[in-house]
Every structure is written in structure tokens, then in C-alpha cells.
């Protein structure tokens, strides 16, 4: 499969150079400095940001500086024509606030006011942001801490950081718009997160909802609605590279080797079909299946599986594992976001994390809090170091991305998850070798199939997130930054055997702050809003908070230091002491981005 099947339209960043409109000397003296600011930010963005398909981010600069309303209108027309999905205004000077701001309410807005004393860029920033606040159009204010000289073309580090944070989150908003979430099946085992709240997807994310029955998978297998040539390649790769592990079922419930051999072709076809359902496949049209070839335009999907499917047919664990992984039989490629059990709220959490990082995401059950006392009682082992206060067992019921092994290594040799375009052959080999695929637990999956098992490497920085829907309130975001830990082999085996040794193991210790939900590891799990979580490599909590503010989703639980938090300036008008309450008030007052 090639990238042209991807659902991506490269929304651009629009840069608006704002200038003092007074002619006969003032405006003319500022033209060069103002355009230089715009060009320096454009260079920063194109050199540092990429779309999920690996292409550099595209930037559009207004045709002229903007000093009066007609120039703002001309810029708005150009941005509409050029697929601009977020806007940054830059200025070194005073200008006419409400005449020059962008008033599009449906895309993120930010202003960088140059901190210089020759011309009052900070005065314009304050006036323009006040205009945004009065109009009810949130905008982020960016203002360097140190005074610069007027001929200083550099971008200070603090400004650089805010510019990149804003654009990273804003691009995520822009890439969601108009895409879809595909539900393959319905609600799994009464899990609330599987209930699709269309008002969430459409009003808050600007996305559509698509639905198909699980029987469509079986139909496509029976009728050969997949690329048979690619299937042969995929099946050969699967059998050559994926290690079948021990059957942990009681002997009386174990299936024969012949049945295992029958499962492998079936579950491999599910991978191809799950992908084709999301993004389409032109090869299907060549076989006469033109309708099926177009797919569902989905940025994310979910597979119900349990129980109607898995009571009867081989499970979708291989499909979920491989689709969420940054490579397959065709080599490295962007991961497809697919949620276990059609938990669409966890899929949304994974999707937001993915668009912020361009990295694969781990889907996990937030399964068990293991205290140090419980570990010592059960295994005889005393937890030390990061784990001395206990840990949370993140073990999904059979599937998650192979990137979650953290077997890939960064430039310093540390375990990580990379954007797909940075993956080496050694990274891919290491992930596969760290993983075994076990005949499924037939107590849960009567139809068989294979589940994915690995143990995540330890001391890796991660962020766990989750969107929950609250009746009367709407969506809320919670997140916890922390680290993975490792356990000695015998300790790990003992703990895995108490749940399922054929499932992926990630042991997580959140960073404690002594406040709110972060007084203990137990309290973090006790405060978690659902049975699933989306786990991203790195400490990205500040980016998640920025993105949530753009989407008007309040954050009800986080452990991010205040100096890392970046929200629109008008959030301060809702309170500066209790920032969590102010966030709730701001989101409630402004309402969903698309409603």
C-alpha cells in the first residue's frame, strides 16, 4: 500500500504580518522588520514540524503586511483558498487591534508580539488579545521575557518553544476536521466508552461518524475483497517474522496445531481488510469492488470484537496490533489508530496523542494497582526506585502496538517510540523479536486467534491520557505523566500469570506531585475515569492541555507544572488562582469549537 491512500490534506499554517497602518514614514520603516518576523517563523515551522505522512509542514504568508481592514480581508480570502487550518499573527509594533485580527472562530489563533522598546509590539499584543476576548474568539499570546533590539532577527528560546507548542496543537485540530471515526461493530460488553457520542466527534473535533457491522469483515474474507497479491506478501512476512508462543490455555481447552494454522491466514486477512475499511484501496476497484475501494475516510477506527465476533471467529488482536504499529510487511509507515473493543473515547485519546507526536500509541486496560506490599506478599520481591510506591498494570486484553515494546532506540541508545520515518531495520527487528503471539485465551475468545505479548522496557517517559464523557458536562480530559518500570523475570511471570501471560505488559508509575489525584499511585488509578487509557511516548502533557483548550475540553486531572501550561490568553479572564476551575468555566462559556 502507498501513502496516497492516506487521509491527509496537509492543512497549512497561515502567518499574518501585522503593521502600523500610518503611512508617510511609520509603516514604511517597519515593512522589512515585520516581514522578517513572518519569514523567520515560517522557517522555524518548515524545519521542525511534519505531517503524519512525514512531509514538512507547509506555511502560507499573507501577500502583504496587514495595517488596515481591507488587507486583513484579503489575507482571509487567501487563507481560505490555501487550506489554512491555523493562524499566527506576528508584529514588532503597534497596530489597529480589531481592524487587523483574524475573526475566524473555527480555527486556532495566536499572536506573537515582539518584545522591543523601539516600537510597542507588546502594546498591540495586549490590545489585540483584548479584542479577541471581547469577541469571544480565543487567541494564544506569545511574548518573550527578554527585551530584544529592533534589528535582532533571532527567535528567543522561550518564544520558540511557545510558537512550536501552539503550531503542534493547532495542526492536530486542523487535521481532525472533516475526517471520520469508523465503528466496526457496536458496544462491547457494555463498556460506556464504546457508546459513540456523535455530539463529541462532530461538535468538539469537527469529525464525522461512520458505522459498519462486523459481518463486513467476514463478507470480505469469504468473497475475496482484498488485494490477494498483497495478502501473499503479508502472510509470508507474518509467518517468517512473528513468533508463535506457548499456548497458556488449560490442556482441555487447547486447540490443535491444525486449527492454529487455519487461524494465521484468517487473522492476516483481517489486518488488510481493517486498513482498507479505514482508508480504502484502489486495488479493490480493479477486482470490481469499486464501492469498497473508497473506504470510510477514517483517521481512527474501533473494532468491537467481544463478544459476538470472538465467541465465534478468530479475534482481531493481530489486526489491532499491526495496524497500530509503525511498520508492516511493506516496511515503515504511519500507524493506523484502531481501538480495542470499539472504545471510541480511547481511540480519540490515542488519535490526539498521535497527531501531537506523529508516533504510535499504546492502547491499554488500566487494570490493576500493585502496591509494594502486594508485590512483596505475592512474589517475595521488594519494589525499589521508581516503583517503591507501587505501579499500575497497563495490560490490554490481547493487543497493542509493537512500538510499545520500546525496543527502538534513539540516538543515545535509549528505548523510545519514533516517528515512522526514523525507524531503522534494526528497530523493526528488535520490536518483532521482543514479541510473541500466543493462541488466544479460549475462556475469553472462544473463536481462537492470537494475542500479542511483550514486556515494555523500563525507565521510559510516557504520558497516559483519557477523554471521558460526563452527563450534563460533556467531554473532559485527564492525563498522567510518568515512567515505565521493569520487574525481574520471575516477578513479572508471577504477576502475568495472575491475569494472562499472553497479553502485553506495561508497568507504569505516574509522577507524583502531592496534590489532587497525584498524592499516590493508588489515588491516580482511583481517580482514573474509565477502564482504558492511551499511552504516548514522552512527557507530552503540556501539549495535550494546549490542544484540549483549543477544542474546549476541560482538563480534570493532570500533573503538569504550571510553567509548562499554555492556554489562550482569555483563559486568565476566568480566574488566575484556581486554574482547573478557570479552565472549566472558559470551556463552558465558549462551547464546542464547531457548535
**Quick count: other Cβ atoms within 10 Å of Cβ 77?**
10
Residue 8 has pLDDT above 70, yes or no: no
3-state secondary structure of 302: strand
CA angle 368, 373, 379 (to 5 degrees): 80
Among the listed residues 89, 90, 86, the one whose alpha carbon sits nearest the alpha carbon of residue 107:
86
Q: 532 among the known binding-site residues? A: yes
Report yes or no: 445 and 500 within 8 Å, Cβ to Cβ: no
Q: 365 among the known binding-site residues? A: yes
- The C-alpha R_g of the chain, in whole angstroms, comes to 25
Reported as a single tens digit per residue, the pLDDT across 161-215 is: 999 999 999 999 999 999 999 999 999 999 999 999 999 999 999 999 999 999 9
Among the listed residues 55, 54, 6, the one whose alpha carbon sits nearest the alpha carbon of residue 281:
6
Distance separating alpha carbons of residues 462 and 25, to the nearest angstrom: 54
Count of positions (residues) in the chain:
595
Kindly compute the dihedral angle of the four CA atoms of residues 547, 551, 554, 558, in this order, to the nearest 10 degrees.
-20
Distance separating alpha carbons of residues 48 and 464, to the nearest angstrom: 25
Average the pLDDT over 77-91 and give the result.
96
pLDDT band at 145 (very low <50, low <70, confident <90, very high): confident
User: How many helices (DSSP H) and strands (DSSP E) are in the chain?
Assistant: 19, 23
Report yes or no: 11 and 79 within 8 Å, Cβ to Cβ: no
3-state secondary structure of 85: strand
pLDDT at 153: 81
The question of whether 365 is a catalytic residue gets the answer yes
Preceding peptide of 307 cis, ω within 30°: yes
The question of whether 341 is a catalytic residue gets the answer yes
SS (H, E, C) 526-542: HHCCCCEEEEEECCCHH
Domains of the chain: 3-176 (3.40.50.1070), 180-590 (3.20.14.10)
| Alpha-carbon distances of 301 from 34, 274, 349, 385, rounded to whole Å | 44, 9, 12, 38
* Ordered strands of the 59-61 beta sheet: 59-61, 12-17, 84-91, 109-113, 140-142
User: What does the buried/exposed string (b/e) look like for 366-377 if buried means 16 or more CB atoms within 10 Å of the residue's CB?
Assistant: bbbbbebeebee
Average the pLDDT over 484-509 and give the result.
96
Distance separating alpha carbons of residues 251 and 236, to the nearest angstrom: 29
Reported as a single tens digit per residue, the pLDDT across 418-473 is: 999 999 999 999 999 999 999 999 999 999 999 999 999 999 999 999 999 999 99
DSSP 8-state code for residue 499: T
Top mean pLDDT of 93-97, 110-114, 401-405, 440-444 is at 401-405
Choosing from 20, 292, 341, 481, the catalytic residue is: 341
User: What does the buried/exposed string (b/e) look like for 506-545 if buried means 16 or more CB atoms within 10 Å of the residue's CB?
Assistant: bbbbbbbeeeebbebbeebbeebbbbbbbbbbbbbbbbbb
Report yes or no: 341 and 194 within 8 Å, Cβ to Cβ: yes
* Residue 401 exposure: Cα atoms within 13 Å on the Cβ side: 32
Average the pLDDT over 319-343 and give the result.
97
Residue 306 has pLDDT above 60, yes or no: yes
Reported as a single tens digit per residue, the pLDDT across 487-499 is: 999 999 999 999 9
CA angle 3, 6, 9 (to 5 degrees): 110
Name residue, grid cell 487563507.
79
Please give the grid coordinates belonging to residue 444: 475469553
Distance separating alpha carbons of residues 498 and 183, to the nearest angstrom: 32
Please give the grid coordinates belonging to residue 486: 521493569
Residue 378 has pLDDT above 60, yes or no: yes
Higher pLDDT, 120 or 228: 228
Distance separating alpha carbons of residues 545 and 553, to the nearest angstrom: 9
Reported as a single tens digit per residue, the pLDDT across 12-51 is: 999 999 999 999 999 999 999 999 999 999 999 999 999 9
Cα separation of the two ends of the chain: 37
Distance separating alpha carbons of residues 439 and 255, to the nearest angstrom: 8
Report yes or no: 448 and 255 within 8 Å, Cβ to Cβ: yes
DSSP-assigned states of every residue in 131-186: HHHHHT---EEE--SS-B-TT-----HHHHHHHHHHHHHHHHHHHHTT-EEEEESS
Reported as a single tens digit per residue, the pLDDT across 539-585 is: 999 999 999 999 999 999 999 999 999 999 999 999 999 999 999 99
Residue 3 has pLDDT above 50, yes or no: no
Choosing from 247, 320, 365, 393, the catalytic residue is: 365
Give me the phi and psi of 562, to 5 degrees please: -60, -35
Amino acid at each position: 500500500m502507498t501513502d496516497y491512500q492516506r487521509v491527509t490534506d496537509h492543512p497549512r499554517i497561515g502567518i499574518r504580518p501585522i503593521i502600523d497602518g500610518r503611512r508617510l514614514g511609520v509603516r514604511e520603516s517597519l515593512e522589512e522588520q515585520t516581514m522578517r518576523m513572518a519569514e523567520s517563523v515560517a522557517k522555524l515551522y518548515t524545519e521542525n514540524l511534519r505531517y503524519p505522512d512525514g512531509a514538512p509542514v507547509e506555511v502560507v504568508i499573507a501577500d502583504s503586511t496587514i495595517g488596515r481592514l481591507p488587507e486583513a480581508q484579503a489575507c482571509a480570502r487567501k487563507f481560505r483558498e490555501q487550506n489554512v487550518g491555523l493562524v499566527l499573527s506576528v508584529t514588532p509594533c503597534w497596530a489597529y487591534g480589531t481592524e487587523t485580527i483574524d475573526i475566524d472562530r473555527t480555527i486556532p489563533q495566536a499572536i506573537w508580539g515582539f518584545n522591543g522598546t523601539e516600537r510597542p509590539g507588546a502594546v498591540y499584543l495586549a490590545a489585540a488579545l483584548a479584542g479577541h476576548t471581547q469577541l469571544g474568539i480565543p487567541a494564544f499570546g506569545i511574548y518573550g521575557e527578554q527585551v530584544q533590539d529592533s534589528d535582532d532577527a533571532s527567535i528567543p528560546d522561550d518564544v520558540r518553544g511557545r510558537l512550536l507548542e501552539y503550531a503542534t496543537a493547532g495542526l492536530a485540530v486542523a487535521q481532525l476536521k472533516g475526517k471520520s471515526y469508523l465503528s466496526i461493530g457496536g458496544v462491547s460488553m457494555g463498556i460506556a466508552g464504546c457508546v459513540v457520542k456523535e455530539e463529541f466527534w462532530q461538535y468538539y473535533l469537527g469529525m464525522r461518524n461512520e458505522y459498519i457491522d462486523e459481518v463486513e469483515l467476514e463478507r470480505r474474507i469469504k468473497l475475496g475483497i482484498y488485494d490477494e497479491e498483497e495478502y501473499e506478501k503479508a502472510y509470508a512476512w507474518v509467518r517468517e517474522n512473528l513468533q508463535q508462543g506457548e499456548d497458556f490455555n488449560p490442556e482441555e481447552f487447547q486447540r490443535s496445531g491444525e486449527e492454529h494454522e487455519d487461524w494465521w491466514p484468517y487473522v492476516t486477512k483481517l489486518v488488510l481488510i481493517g486498513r482498507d475499511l479505514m482508508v480504502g484501496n484502489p486495488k479493490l476497484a480493479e477486482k470490481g469492488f469499486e464501492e469498497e475501494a473508497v473506504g470510510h475516510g477514517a483517521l481512527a477506527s474501533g473494532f468491537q470484537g467481544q463478544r459476538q465476533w470472538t465467541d465465534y471467529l478468530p479475534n482481531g488482536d493481530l489486526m489491532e496490533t499491526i495496524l497500530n504499529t509503525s511498520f508492516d510487511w511493506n516496511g515503515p509507515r504511519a500507524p493506523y489508530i484502531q481501538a480495542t473493543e470499539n472504545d471510541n473515547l480511547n481511540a480519540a485519546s490515542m488519535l490526539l496523542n498521535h497527531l501531537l507526536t506523529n508516533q504510535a500509541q499504546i492502547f491499554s486496560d488500566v487494570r490493576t494497582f500493585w502496591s509494594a506490599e502486594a508485590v512483596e506478599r505475592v512474589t517475595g520481591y521488594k519494589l525499589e526506585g521508581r516503583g517503591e510506591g507501587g505501579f499500575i498494570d497497563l495490560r490490554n486484553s490481547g493487543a497493542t502496538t509493537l512500538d510499545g515494546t520500546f525496543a527502538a532506540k534513539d540516538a543515545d541508545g535509549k528505548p523510545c517510540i519514533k516517528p515512522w520515518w526514523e525507524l531503522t531495520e534494526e528497530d523493526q527487528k528488535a520490536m518483532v523479536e521482543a514479541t510473541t503471539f500466543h493462541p488466544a485465551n479460549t475462556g475469553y475468545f472462544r473463536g481462537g486467534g492470537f494475542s500479542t505479548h511483550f514486556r515494555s522496557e523500563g525507565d521510559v517517559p510516557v504520558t497516559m491520557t483519557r477523554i471521558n464523557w460526563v452527563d450534563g458536562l460533556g467531554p473532559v480530559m485527564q492525563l498522567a505523566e510518568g515512567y515505565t518500570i521493569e520487574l525481574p523475570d520471575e516477578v513479572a511471570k508471577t504477576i502475568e500469570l495472575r491475569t494472562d501471560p499472553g497479553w502485553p505488559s506495561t508497568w507504569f508509575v505516574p509522577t507524583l506531585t502531592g496534590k489532587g489525584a497525584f498524592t499516590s499511585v493508588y489515588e491516580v488509578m482511583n481517580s482514573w475515569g474509565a477502564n482504558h487509557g492511551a499511552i504516548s511516548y514522552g512527557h507530552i502533557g503540556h501539549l495535550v492541555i494546549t490542544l484540549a483548550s483549543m477544542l474546549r475540553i476541560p482538563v480534570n486531572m493532570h500533573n503538569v507544572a504550571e510553567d509548562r501550561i499554555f492556554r489562550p490568553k482569555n483563559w486568565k479572564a476566568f480566574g488566575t488562582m484556581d486554574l482547573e476551575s478557570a479552565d472549566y468555566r472558559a470551556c463552558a462559556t465558549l462551547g464546542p469549537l464547531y457548535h
